[in-house]
Structures are given as C-alpha cells and as structure tokens.
Chains A and B, each alone.
Chain A
Amino acid sequence: MRSFRVARWALAGAIALSAAAGAARAARVTGVVVDAAGKPVELATVAAPAYRQGTSTDEHGRFTLDLPAGQTQLVVSEMGYEARRLNIVVAEGTPELRVTLREQPVELSEVTVAASSFGRTGKSEGATLRRMDIYTTPGGAADLFQSLRALPGINAPTEGAALYVRGGKPEETLIRLDGGSIGHPYHYERASGGLFSTLDAYMIKSAFFSSGGFSAKYGGVLSGVLDVETQDPFNLKTVSLSANVVGSGLSTSWALIPDRLSLIASIRHSYPAVLFKLYGSATEYEEAPTSDDAAGRLLYRYSKSGKLSFTWLDSGDHTALQANVLNFKGLYSGRARNRFGALQFSDALLGRVALRGQASLQRYHTAWSFASFGGDEVERVAQGNLDAVWPVNSRHELSFGLNLGRTEHENLGTVGADSTDYGSGAPTRTLNTHPSVDHPGVYLEDKLRVWGPFYATLGGRFDYASLPGVWTADPRAAIAWRVDEHQTVRVATGRYHQLANVRYLDPVYGNPDLSPMAADHVIAGYEWLSEFGNVRIEAYRKDYHGLVTNDSTSYYANRGTGYARGLDVFTRGTWRSLSGWVSYGYLDARRKELDDPHEVPTAWGVKHSVTLVSQCQLTSAWQVGARYGFSTGRPWTPVVDRTWDPARAIWRPVFGEHNSAPMPDYHRLDVRATRLFSLPRGAGMPASSVCAAYVEAINVLAIRNPLEYVYNSDYSRRYTRDSYFSRRFLVAGVALTW
C-alpha cells in the first residue's frame, strides 16, 4: 500500500514536472533594432504583451527576451519611430531577429493639407485662433470677429464684424458653433452689418478659420468657414467678472460633478451710452444701442470616451438712430433676437472611429422700421450632422458624414417699391413670404500620405436642395508637400455650392426654380513655419457661376457670374519679448448679380489691405500692443446726375457705372496696454486667479474714415457718413477671475 502511495506521488510529480517543463520550455529570443539607415536604436521597447514580458535595447540596439515556445506577437517601439508588430514563432534556435524601425512620419492629423487655414494648427489646440489670441490682439476688443479681421483672407471693407472672405459676401461664409450652423452671430446686424460677436470670448476654446479650398465636411457655402468650438473643461471652478466703459459680463466654468458634469456659462450686457457721452458719436442715436447675450454649455461625460453636451445661446440687441439713405434722413429702429441650441455627442466607436453627432435649432427674429416702412423677419434653421473620422492606418484617415438641414424664412412687412424714394407717400410693396427648403448632404474624404513627404485629401460631397429639387456634386482635392520640417507647399482645388438666399426661393415673390450657386476654387501656396515665426504666401482664384440676377419674368434667375483672384501674404515672428505679424491681401473681384448689367467690381472688394500687429511683453505683468490697419477704398456707385420727378415732386439720382468709384482709403491705429495681476485673499474671498486690467486707445490718430456717401435733398451736395470709430476712443476695463 505504501509503495502504491509512493508510486502515486512519483507519478504526480512526474506529470507536474513534465507539465511545468513543457510550459516553461522557454526559448531565448534575441535580436537587434536598427533604423532605416541600419544604425542601432538604443532604448527601444520590445514587448510581448501576451506574456507581459518586455525589455529595452542596449546601446547596440540588442535585446533578449525569454518567452514560452510557440507563436506570439512582439511590439517594438521607440519615440520618433513607427511602432512595429511582428508575429514570430518562438523555438529553440530561433535565429536572431533584425527589426528595422522607420522614422515616424508626421501624423496625418498633424499635417495641414487644406489650403487657406492660416495660423496655428495641430492636435494641441487644433485652431487658427485661440482664446488667448482673441484677448491679446490689439484693437480686437476681445471680440472673435474683430480679432479675425487681423488675419489674411478677410478683405474687410468696413469696421463691422461681418466676414468678407476673398471677395465673397458675409453669407458666403459658414459659421458653426459646436458643429451647428449659426447664422447671424453679430450684434447690430441690420443697422451696421454686424459690429461685435454675440459669443463672449470666454466661451471660446478655439476657432478654425479657412478662407478657401476647405474640406468636403463643410457644405453649402461658397467662400469660407469659421468653425468655433466652445470650452470643455470638466474640473474647473472659476468665476470671472468683467467690466469696461461699454458694458459688463459674468462668466463661469463650474464642475458640478468632478469628471462627470460641468457647466460653462457667460452673460453680457453692453450699453455704450457712457462712451458716447465721453467722446461723442459719429451717429445720431435716438436711444443708445444696447445688447445682451447669454451663452452656456452643459457637459456630461457618460463614459471614458463618450461626451454629451448641450450648448445654448440667446442674444438680442436694440438700436434707434437717425439714418441716411441717399438724400433721405429718417428714424431707423431695429430689434433683433437670436436663439440657438445644439445637442452634441462624441464617442469612439470600437475604439477606432471618432463619432460626433449634433442636432441644432436656431430662431432669428428681427423687427425694424424706417420712415413709413417696416417689417418682421423670422428665420428658423434646423440641422443635424453625423461626422465620423476613421484613422484606417498610418497612411489613411477617412472622414465621412451626413448632414440634414431645413431652413424656413418668414418675411412680413412693407418695403419701398422704389429704391430712390423714401419720403412721405412713397410707393410701397407688401411682403408676405414663407419659403422653406430642405438641404441634406453626404460627404466622404480621405486624408492620405501619398508617398514620402506628399500628403493629400481627396473627397467630395453630394447635396440635395428640395427647392428646386436638384442634387449637386462637389469634388474637392488638396495636396501638400512637406519639403522639410519647416516648409510646406500646398495646392487645392474644388467645387462649392450654396443655396440661393431662401427669400429668393419664395413661390410667389421669388423663383423656386433657382439652382444653388457655384464657385470653383484653385489655390496654391507656400508656408515656412518654425518656432521663431511663420511666412505664408498664397495665390487664389475663385470663379462664380449661377449667381442670382434680377429677371423681369421670374423675378430672379441664375444668370450671374463673377470671379475673385488675389494674393495673401502673412508673416509672423517672435524675437525675445517682441512678437507680431504683418498681413497683406491683394484682391481683384468682379461680379454680375441682381441688377448689374455686366461683371462689375464688387462693393466689398478691397484691392489692397494691410494689417500690422505688434506686441511687446515688457514684464511678466505688462504687455503693450498696437495694430495698424490700412485698406484701399471700397468701390461704390456714384450719383452722376439728377432728374426732377414732378409726379412725386422729388429729385431722383442718376447713377453712374455700378461700383465704378473708390471710397477714400481707410486707416486706423489702435494701441493697447494690459496689466496682469492677482488679488490677495481677503474680505471672505479666496485669492484670485490671473486678472487683467487694460486700456485700449481706438483710432489713436483720430482719422475720420467715411463709411458711405449721402446727399442733400436735390443731390447737389455730397457728404460722408463717418465710420463708427471715427473718433479717438479710450476704453478701460478690468477682468477679475477667481
């Protein structure tokens, strides 16, 4: 019995030892890791995650790993090189491995292939303009649109905030907020074409701006894109108060549940009456204009990779002023309100595909009156987008998505039937229009590394317009050649479509058969970029087809054409505590649209524009900066003669060739000094975070820049109406943050 027990133990031991020996039949894997030139790569990581084994290479690039016999996968990696995965069979006598690591090409996401995206790009901020740039650009008044005007590609004919991109009208630029299209992002739009943004700079994380040749992701626009992302911190708890002579604001980032739920919000009120009392105004206001806006974003992180957010914006303004149109002066009163809400989610599908969905609603309402005319306009835009980015491998990154959209426009009112007669008893026209259009679209784009330093994006989109019921196809392509780590050459081309203004599509007062307008872009540019500076030169040409013209039988037709061609130069540099940039734009733009008899210079086509911005960090607390802007005068249509109308007993103008005369050149110099500081703990308050006090002198040289010409009653004399900033203003303000 005892011998049986011993035998059993012996058997068990033998089985156990043989099993252990089998499992532990480890074989030594040795090898060398070299780079493409055959030089050993020191400190490279060689790991077999299946066995939780890893090591690093020595100074000769050699490594040794003891692994169980059989098939396994080795992962070889080192910073700056493309990681390699090798399937190997581990066995006694396995020959030495030789692993060649290739230098990591610049990641696709780090390469800017698209043309016309000036400024900083890349993973870190992914933006052309960051919040810091908006706050510190002199003359920018900490306003997104005023700061953007200092970049190339925007040939601004006035001081307004509206974006005139490379000869295109403001409505030719798509403005998105957290993925949703937001029309009317300006205050005082009807009175001035928009003066300031309705979005507080505090809310902004980044703003990507492109003046042409942009991705197939963006549809429904002819000229440019401004894609604004709002902040998304999860654990901040800050409150900011700001005030200056024009208004005040309160903003906050508040972690409601750390890592889970966060709120970012701001409210602002502006009331420039104090400023006008101090310095006077170029405009006769019946009531000082006021504006209010409130914006917020509620963020919820529901998983490690998934986020849900709701962004809302509610803004309004009111103004009443004495307005001049030709030879008529009358009271203009306007009130506008814009409400926008966007629900957005982002997540990673299967850990590889970045998905982003968004649904937004916008309602813009404006009511106005001028002399005996007036109206009410309501615009509703509903939109849904689903975007996906799939980094297929290190050579391809696919982007694809779906857009759904519906735009409705209501216009009720009484307008002048004769554009030269605004007096009492002038003929009128009653409007009562309710056009609406659905415009879904799909896109697909591949960002790829073609070969070596050549990168490209190839793609396109299809869009449908329910009025007039047509599909459009927009192929787009861009290629970038990274000459070296500092220099890139880019060429881009593509077709772009945009719906005609919805009001022109009304079945009764418009033409529902109007096709979408089209533009073809060709852009070629060179960029040099280093940590010391950036030089960018870009030439472009944009050809328009199917622009809307007046038509005697169908009101409107697609018979307009036009072009914009030009050159943008941008150079930016940093030397010690000095930094700054120079931006120059040359533009030659002509169009035939509405009542133009043939292609004429565009009313917003500024031939030469230059912006110089310099900033100096005097100490870590003091920063001074200046911005000088110059542009040649925009074209306008002169009154060359007059005729007496006995029936109406008024003088009527006789216009010259459309946009045949230039307005005077425009100059403006702004200076800004900013001091950063912190408040100590006290009075029950904690110590503050970084606070700022600033003084900004706007139009230091007090140059009277004319905005437009107006006339006396018989058109025998001409006067200029000065721009809003035609006086020297001194604006002081403070922003306190806890």
Chain B
Amino acid sequence: MRPSSMFAWLFLCVAFAAPVARAADPRAVLEAKRALQSAVNHAAPDEMLKARSRFEAMSAAEPGSALLHYWVAVADWRLTPFLSGTDKVKAARYCKDGIDHCDKAIALDPRFGEAIALKGGLQGMSIQFEPGSMMTLGPQSVANTRRAITLAPNSPRVWLLDGLGTLNKPERFGGGAVPAGETLDRAAALAAADSSADSAAPDWGHDDAFLWAGRAAMMRKDYASAREDFSKALALNPGNGWVRARLLPEAEKALVDSAEVKP
C-alpha cells in the first residue's frame, strides 16, 4: 500500500465516522417534508407546528442554508391560514416569521425565485393582519411574484402563488376566478411535469396547483373542469383529505345538479 493510498483511506474513514460539519441529513429533510404534507392532508395545525419545528431545528443547526430557511417559511405559509381562524395574533406572528425566513433565504441566494414568490405570498397574506399596510404590501407582494416568475418561470409553485394572489384579489382590482384560473391552470400544467432530484429542493404544491385550479373552476361554475382538476389533485396526492372529503364530492354534486337543471 502506497502511503498516499493509506492516507486517503484514513481520511475517508475519519470523514465518514465523524459527525463534524455534516450537512442537513437529506433523509431528515425528506421526513420533515412528508410530515408537513401529512399535516396539511389532515388539516392538523398541531402536526404542522411539529413539522415546522423539524425544519426550524435543521435551519438553526445550519443557518447558512437558504433551502432550510425556505422550508421553515413554507411551513409558516401553510400554518398561517389555519391559525388565522382561531388565533389571529399567533397567525400574524408565524406569517411574519415566514417573511423573515424568506428574507434570510433571499439574502443567501438573491436569485432564489421560489423564496421570492413565497415572500410575495406571505406579504399578501399579512395584509389581513394590518389592512392599513395594503398600499405598501400589496404592490410589493405583486412585484415579488412578478420577479419570481422571471427567475423561475417553470416553477409550478411560483405560478400557484401568483394565481392565489389573483384569486384572493377582488374582481374590480383585476382579481377573481377568471384571471386566476389562467394562472392556476398554468401552475397545474407545470406541476404535472415538475420533478427534482434534490430531496431538499422545493417540490411541494403539485396537488395544490390542481386543487386551486379546481377551486377557481368551481367559482366559474365550470364543474366538469373542477372535477377533473380535483381528480388529478387526488391522483397526485391520494391523502389530501380536503379534496377527497369535500371538494371532489362538491364538484360531483354540482355537476349532477347542473345536469338536472338543464333539460
């Protein structure tokens, strides 16, 4: 054995044996992502908080990771609407925390389009907690989403967040189901083709894109499209309780009712 081989072997042994400077475990990230998705499927805020705490722990251990900050912000984005119905102060706190984590992710990676879009989505959400800030946060939210689209034009999540912003905007301000539907359909089309080899990379929102495209279709009274979108959402994520228990049955019933009304 040549000395160089021996030292290489020694190095490898030490490197694999010691936990020093180990990056976030991809399995841990994957597990946290699954836990978050499961919590969303079951509409369980307590479980979401637990999943969030997993991301938070990883992010605190590795504060230089833009992706981990991003995932904490995703958990905050998921949590905020669930909390706002019961505890507005807590919801506002998580929403703000999500924006802070997005800012950290963007500071680490200024061209991180997914984080910029998420920040835009959270800014839009935060207007409900402080309506007086609409004039500043509203345009900033739109500007962030637009910028994200230029940076990550093929991300279904970026289009999803853009579509949600449009859907929640009153019709008289250019929002509503019709313009949002176009954007959400695009998000859904991109979701069907979206894949990532990196287990830590953003890969959520595939079923959400179809879910919200379906919701927009329901608002337009296009029940057939809604049923199709909800079915696709369920095919992508069979565990989605909201779609399975409520949205799909509602679309099917609406379709039947509308067929009965029509002679």
Give the interface of A toward B (CB within 8 A): 5, 8-9, 12, 15-17, 19-21, 23-24, 26, 43-49, 51-56, 66-68, 75, 77, 79-80, 120, 124-125, 130-133, 135, 205, 231, 233, 235-238, 253, 255, 258-259, 304, 531, 620-621, 676-678, 680, 687-690
Over the window 15-43 of chain B, the binary record of Cβ atoms lying under 8 Å from chain A Cβ atoms (1 yes, 0 no) is: 01111111110000000000000000000
Cα A620 to Cα B133 with chains together (Å) = 15
Contact B1 A23 (CB under 8 A): no
Cross-interface CB contact of B21 among A9, A16, A51, A66, cutoff 8 Å: A51
Q: Which of B59-67, B157-165, B237-245, B249-257 contacts A (4 or more CB under 8 A)?
A: B59-67
For A52, the chain B residues whose CB sits under 8 A away are: 21-24, 61-62
Q: Chain B interface secondary structure, helix, strand, loop or mixed?
A: helix
B246 proximal to A (CB < 8 A): no
Contact A12 B97 (CB under 8 A): no
Contact A54 B63 (CB under 8 A): no
For B133, the chain A residues whose CB sits under 8 A away are: 124-125, 130, 132
Contact B60 A49 (CB under 8 A): yes
Q: Chain A interface secondary structure, helix, strand, loop or mixed?
A: mixed
Write 21 A-B pairs (CB below 8 A) sorted by A numbering.
A12-B10, A16-B9, A16-B10, A16-B14, A21-B17, A23-B20, A24-B17, A51-B22, A53-B61, A68-B18, A75-B60, A132-B132, A231-B136, A233-B143, A235-B146, A531-B88, A620-B172, A677-B173, A678-B173, A680-B174, A690-B173
Cα A125 to Cα B50 with chains together (Å) = 31
For B19, the chain A residues whose CB sits under 8 A away are: 24, 26, 51, 53, 66-68
Contact A12 B147 (CB under 8 A): no
For A253, the chain B residues whose CB sits under 8 A away are: 139
B263 proximal to A (CB < 8 A): no
B130 proximal to A (CB < 8 A): yes
- Minimum distance in angstroms from B211 CB to a CB of chain A: 25
Cα A231 to Cα B97 with chains together (Å) = 23
Cα A231 to Cα B146 with chains together (Å) = 20
Over the window 130-151 of chain B, the binary record of Cβ atoms lying under 8 Å from chain A Cβ atoms (1 yes, 0 no) is: 1011111011101110110010
B56 proximal to A (CB < 8 A): yes
Contact B13 A19 (CB under 8 A): yes
Cα A24 to Cα B14 with chains together (Å) = 9
Contact B10 A9 (CB under 8 A): no
For B61, the chain A residues whose CB sits under 8 A away are: 47-49, 51-54
Cα A367 to Cα B100 with chains together (Å) = 52
Q: Which of B13, B88, B146 has most A Cβ within 10 Å?
A: B13
Q: Given A23-B20, A133-B132, are A620 and B170 neighbors across the interface (CB < 8 Å)?
A: yes
For B24, the chain A residues whose CB sits under 8 A away are: 52
For A68, the chain B residues whose CB sits under 8 A away are: 18-20
Contact B57 A47 (CB under 8 A): yes
Q: Given A9-B1, A53-B19, A132-B134, are A689 and B173 neighbors across the interface (CB < 8 Å)?
A: yes
Q: Given A19-B14, A49-B63, A133-B132, are A5 and B143 neighbors across the interface (CB < 8 Å)?
A: no
Give the interface of B toward A (CB within 8 A): 1, 6, 9-10, 13-14, 16-24, 49-50, 52-54, 56-63, 88, 93-94, 97, 107, 110, 130, 132-136, 138-140, 142-144, 146-147, 150, 170, 172-174, 179
For A132, the chain B residues whose CB sits under 8 A away are: 132-136
Contact B174 A131 (CB under 8 A): no
Q: A8-B1, A52-B61 are in contact. List 16 more A-B contacts (CB 8 A).
A: A16-B9, A16-B10, A23-B14, A24-B18, A43-B53, A51-B20, A51-B61, A52-B22, A52-B23, A53-B22, A68-B19, A132-B134, A135-B135, A233-B143, A678-B172, A678-B174
Closest to B116 in A: A235
- Minimum distance in angstroms from A204 CB to a CB of chain B: 10
For B54, the chain A residues whose CB sits under 8 A away are: 56
Q: Given A49-B60, A621-B172, A678-B174, are A238 and B13 neighbors across the interface (CB < 8 Å)?
A: no
Q: Given A237-B143, A689-B174, are A45 and B14 neighbors across the interface (CB < 8 Å)?
A: no
Contact B107 A304 (CB under 8 A): yes
Cα A603 to Cα B241 with chains together (Å) = 72
Contact B139 A233 (CB under 8 A): yes
Q: Given A24-B19, A132-B133, are A688 and B174 neighbors across the interface (CB < 8 Å)?
A: yes
For A23, the chain B residues whose CB sits under 8 A away are: 14, 17-18, 20
Closest to B65 in A: A52
Closest to A235 in B: B143
Cross-interface CB contact of B173 among A16, A20, A231, A676, cutoff 8 Å: A676
Cα A205 to Cα B49 with chains together (Å) = 35
Cα A77 to Cα B59 with chains together (Å) = 12
Contact B50 A130 (CB under 8 A): no
Closest to B137 in A: A124
Cα A56 to Cα B22 with chains together (Å) = 18
Closest to B107 in A: A304
Contact B17 A20 (CB under 8 A): yes
For B20, the chain A residues whose CB sits under 8 A away are: 23, 51, 68
- Minimum distance in angstroms from B154 CB to a CB of chain A: 19
Cα A131 to Cα B140 with chains together (Å) = 14
Contact B172 A677 (CB under 8 A): yes
For A51, the chain B residues whose CB sits under 8 A away are: 19-22, 61
Closest to A43 in B: B53
Cα A205 to Cα B17 with chains together (Å) = 55
For B17, the chain A residues whose CB sits under 8 A away are: 19-21, 23-24
Q: Given A23-B17, A238-B139, are A79 and B97 neighbors across the interface (CB < 8 Å)?
A: yes
